[in-house]
Amino acid sequence: MPTPNKKAAVLGYPVHHSRSPRLHGYWLKYYNIAGSYEAIEVAPENLATTLKSLPEKGFTGCNLTLPHKEAALAIMDEIDATARMIGAVNTVVVRGGKLCGSNSDVYGFIQNLKQHARLSDYAHKAVILGAGGAARAVLYALLQEGFGDITITNRTQARAQDLAAHFADNRIRVVGWERRDASLEVAGLLVNTTSLGLSGQPPLELSLAALPTKALVTDIIYSPLITPLLQRASERGNKVVDGLGMLLHQAVPGFEAWFGLRPEVTPELRAVVLREGA
């Protein structure tokens, strides 16, 4: 008897913008795996029912995107340490009929940087702009990587303070948003996690004058691929890493768990994800 096709999906609301089907679809084809990955629009009030029905519908798991990542925590049967720490689930694996939630954004962020740069070259001092969900994953990733000094600066300072308090680690400092330009003086790594610079959003107002030219600069935004921040940083000689790689790398653990093969993030995959619908 042939093995049944393995099924996975991304659940979001809305979900049509998600690039995950294209990404997983590419790998399924490339590795010649009999499986499928679809986008399913699920309204928040239907999230629990939909997630709980996944095992009986034959799904091996799913990804979660906005606005479901936080709400999913309460629906999982098991949650791994990273998802618990981040307070968000983006990958669900069905194991023995149970829903196991994890968060691969931390992994995706770090793997993207490591694919392009040797982190030990960047002095282990970082400045994070923003204090939302993405900043939480980035902060946790940098703490795990052993960064010794991490500055968070956010328009709403109380949010940055809450984030620092959540991790309760003396390597974290909070700096007022009005002092963000000067805070760059110590940075070996600068990460933008705000929505500023995203297509259709206001620009990020930030002077790079104090930033050492040997600092690495990355943006979690990948639309546009080269954000104005990355453009300016690159023009003054900083090495830059765009945010698309984070999306690609965060997909790896889910694909491996659902389809049984660890896929590679290659230039061809990048091109495919960028080409269609950029």
Q: Shortest Cβ distance from residue 37 to ligand ATR (Å)?
A: 23
Structure tokens at 218: 């990355």
Q: Shortest Cβ distance from residue 232 to ligand ATR (Å)?
A: 17
β-pair type (149-154, 125-129): parallel
Tell me which of 36, 161, 195, 223 binds ligand ATR, using CB under 6 A: 195
Tell me which of 194, 227, 238, 250 binds ligand ATR, using CB under 6 A: 194
Q: How far is it, in rounded angstroms, from Cα 141 to Cα 193?
A: 13
Q: φ and ψ at 157, to 5 degrees?
A: -60, -35
Structure tokens at 230: 């990355």
193 counts as binding ligand ATR under rule CB under 6 A: yes
* 69 part of the active site: yes
Rounded (5°) CA angle 220-151-231: 40
Binding mask 121-160 toward ligand ATR (x if CB under 6 A, else -) reads: ---------xxxxxx------------------xxx--x-
Q: Would you say 28 or 134 has its CB closer to ligand ATR?
A: 134
Count the residues of the shown chain that bind ligand ATR, applying the rule CB under 6 A: 15
Answer for the pair 203, 179: CB distance below 8 angstroms, yes or no: no
Answer for the pair 186, 125: CB distance below 8 angstroms, yes or no: yes
β-pair type (172-176, 239-241): unpaired
Tell me which of 202, 203, 237, 260 binds ligand ATR, using CB under 6 A: 202
Q: Shortest Cβ distance from residue 86 to ligand ATR (Å)?
A: 11
Binding mask 162-181 toward ligand ATR (x if CB under 6 A, else -) reads: --------------------
Q: Would you say 28 or 221 has its CB closer to ligand ATR?
A: 221
Q: φ and ψ at 56, to 5 degrees?
A: -70, -20
Q: Please, how many CA atoms are within 13 Å of residue 79, restricted to the half-sphere of its CB?
A: 19
Which residue number places its CB atom closest to ligand ATR?
Answer: 132
Structure tokens at 121: 């070259």
Q: Shortest Cβ distance from residue 32 to ligand ATR (Å)?
A: 35
Considering the candidates 6, 69, 98, 239, report the single residue annotated as catalytic. 69
Q: Tell whether the torsion through CA atoms of 135, 136, 139 and 145 is positive or negative.
A: negative
Q: Of how many residues is the chain composed?
A: 278
Q: Shortest Cβ distance from residue 160 to ligand ATR (Å)?
A: 8
Q: Would you name the residues annotated as active-site residues?
A: 69
Binding site for ligand ATR (CB under 6 A): 130-135, 154-156, 159, 193-196, 202
